[in-house]
Structure 1
Amino acid sequence: MTATRHNTALLVSDIHLPAGASEYRNAFLAMLEGPGRAVDAIYLLGDIFEYWLGEDVSGPDHRPVLAALAARAAAGTRIYFIAGNRDLLLDPTTQARHGVIALPDPVTVQLPDGPALLSHGDQWCTQDAAYQRWRRFAHNPIAQKGFLHLPAALRRRIARRLRTRSSQGQRRMPEDLLDVQTDAVEQAFRVHGATRIIHGHTHRPARHRHAGGERIVLPDWRPGEHRYLLATRGGLAEYQLN
Structure 2
Amino acid sequence: MSDTSQMTDKSALTYFIADLHLAQNRPDITACFLAFLKDEAPKAQTLYILGDLFEYWIGDDDDSPFILEISQAIKALSSIGCKIYFIHGNRDFLLGKRFAKQSGMELLPEITLIDLYGTPVVIMHGDTLCTLDVGYQAFRKKSRSWWWQAIIKSLPLFIRRKIANNYRDQSATATAMKSQEIMDVTPIEVVRCLEQYQSQILIHGHTHRPAVHDVKANNQQAQRIVLGDWYEQGAWLKVTPESMDLMDSPFELIEK
Counterpart-to-counterpart distance in 1, 2:108 and 2:200: 20
Q: Give the superposition deviation at 1:145.
A: 1.5
- Where in structure 2 are the equivalents of 1:177-192 lying within 5 Å? 177-192=182-197
Instruction: Give the stretch that moved more between structures: 180-189 or 60-69.
Output: 60-69
Counterpart-to-counterpart distance in 2, 1:233 and 1:149: 46
Residue 66 of structure 2 aligns with which residue?
A: 61
**Which one-letter code corresponds to 1:236 in the other structure?**
M
Residue 95 of structure 1 aligns with which residue?
A: 100
**Which one-letter code corresponds to 1:238 in the other structure?**
L
Q: Give the superposition deviation at 1:20.
A: 6.6
TM-score w.r.t. length of structure 1: 0.95
Judging changes above 3 Å, is the alpha-carbon distance between structure 1 residues 167 and 142 closer, same or farther for their aligned structure 2 residues?
same
In the alignment, structure 1 residue 231 sits paired with structure 2 residue 239: yes
- Where in structure 2 are the equivalents of 1:17-28 lying within 5 Å? 17-19=22-24, 22-28=27-33
**Which one-letter code corresponds to 2:71 in the other structure?**
L
SS state at 2:216 partner = coil
Structure 2 counterpart of 1:118, from 97, 116, 123: 123
Identity of aligned residues (%): 32
- Where in structure 2 are the equivalents of 1:21-170 lying within 5 Å? 22-57=27-62, 60-112=65-117, 114-170=119-175
Unaligned runs of 5+ in 1: none
Unaligned runs of 5+ in 2: none
Q: Give the superposition deviation at 1:193.
A: 0.6
Instruction: Give the stretch that moved more between structures: 166-175 or 15-24.
Output: 15-24
Residue 6 of structure 2 aligns with which residue?
A: 5
Counterpart-to-counterpart distance in 2, 1:141 and 1:23: 35
Q: CA RMSD in A?
A: 1.5
**Which one-letter code corresponds to 2:224 in the other structure?**
R
Counterpart-to-counterpart distance in 1, 2:186 and 2:63: 32
Count of aligned pairs = 241
SS state at 1:57 partner = coil
Counterpart-to-counterpart distance in 2, 1:138 and 1:61: 25
Counterpart-to-counterpart distance in 1, 2:206 and 2:72: 25
Counterpart-to-counterpart distance in 2, 1:30 and 1:222: 15
Counterpart-to-counterpart distance in 2, 1:141 and 1:219: 31
SS state at 1:193 partner = coil
